[in-house]
C-alpha cells in the first residue's frame, strides 16, 4: 500500500478561503515533500520538510510535520483560483533505496472564483 495517504481526496472551496490537506504515513521517514500537479501536467515541488523539523513556510504555504502521529499537513492561505490542482505528499523512509520517494494518491483541490 502507499506510504503516504492524503486526506481529503477532494476539497472544494471559495477563493480567499484557506485549504488544508493532510498526509498520513505508516513507517518512519527521513523527509517528507509536497508536490503540486496541474491537470495533465508534470509535478512541481512545493516544500521539503525533514523529520527533525516541525513547521516550514513558503509564501502562502505552511507545512507541519508530526512524527509522533506520522502525519503532515499542507495549508494554503488566502486561496486563489490558480491554486486549483492536485497536491501530493511524498515520503522518504529510511529503508528505501536512494532517492526512492513514495507518493500518496493526492488531494484534488478546486478553488472557485
Partner 1 sequence: DGGITQSPKYLFRKEGQNVTLSCEQNLNHDAMYWYRQDPGQGLRLIYYSQIVNDFQKGDIAEGYSVSREKKESFPLTVTSAQKNPTAFYLCASSLLAGGAYEQYFGPGTRLTVT
Decide whether 6 or 83 has the Cβ nearer to partner 1: 6
Q: Which of 17, 30, 54, 112 binds partner 1 (CB under 8 A)?
A: 30
Query: Binding mask 37-56 vs partner 1 (x if CB under 8 A, - otherwise)?
Result: ---xxxxxx--x-x------
* Beta strand ranges found along 8-66 (DSSP E): 10-14, 19-25, 31-37, 43-50, 55-58, 61-66
Cβ 37 to partner 1 shortest distance, Å: 8
Q: What is the DSSP letter of 92?
A: E
**Measuring CA to CA, how many Å separate 48 from each of 17, 18, 29, 74, 79?**
24, 20, 12, 11, 21
Q: Which is nearer to partner 1, 15 or 26 (CB)?
A: 26
Window 59 to 98, contacts with partner 1 (CB under 8 A):
88, 91-92, 96-98
Identify the bridge partners of residue 37 per DSSP, sorted by sequence position: 43, 86
The CA-based diameter of the chain, rounded to the nearest angstrom, is 44
The x, y and z cell numbers of residue 54, run together, are 516541525
Closest to partner 1 by CB, 79 or 104: 104
Task: Write out the residues near partner 1 by the rule CB under 8 A.
Answer: 2, 4, 29-31, 33, 35, 40-45, 48, 50, 88, 91-92, 96-106
Amino acid at each position: 500500500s502507499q506510504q503516504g495517504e492524503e486526506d481529503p481526496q477532494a476539497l472544494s472551496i471559495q477563493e480567499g478561503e484557506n485549504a488544508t490537506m493532510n498526509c498520513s504515513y505508516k513507517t518512519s521517514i527521513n523527509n517528507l515533500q509536497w508536490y503540486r500537479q496541474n491537470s495533465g501536467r508534470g509535478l512541481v515541488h512545493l516544500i521539503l520538510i525533514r523529520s527533525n523539523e516541525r513547521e516550514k513556510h513558503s509564501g502562502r504555504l505552511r507545512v507541519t510535520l508530526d512524527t509522533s502521529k506520522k502525519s503532515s499537513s499542507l495549508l494554503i492561505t488566502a486561496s486563489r483560483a490558480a491554486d486549483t490542482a492536485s497536491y501530493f505528499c511524498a515520503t522518504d523512509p529510511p529503508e528505501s533505496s536512494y532517492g526512492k520517494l513514495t507518493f500518496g494518491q493526492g488531494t484534488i483541490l478546486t478553488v472557485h472564483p
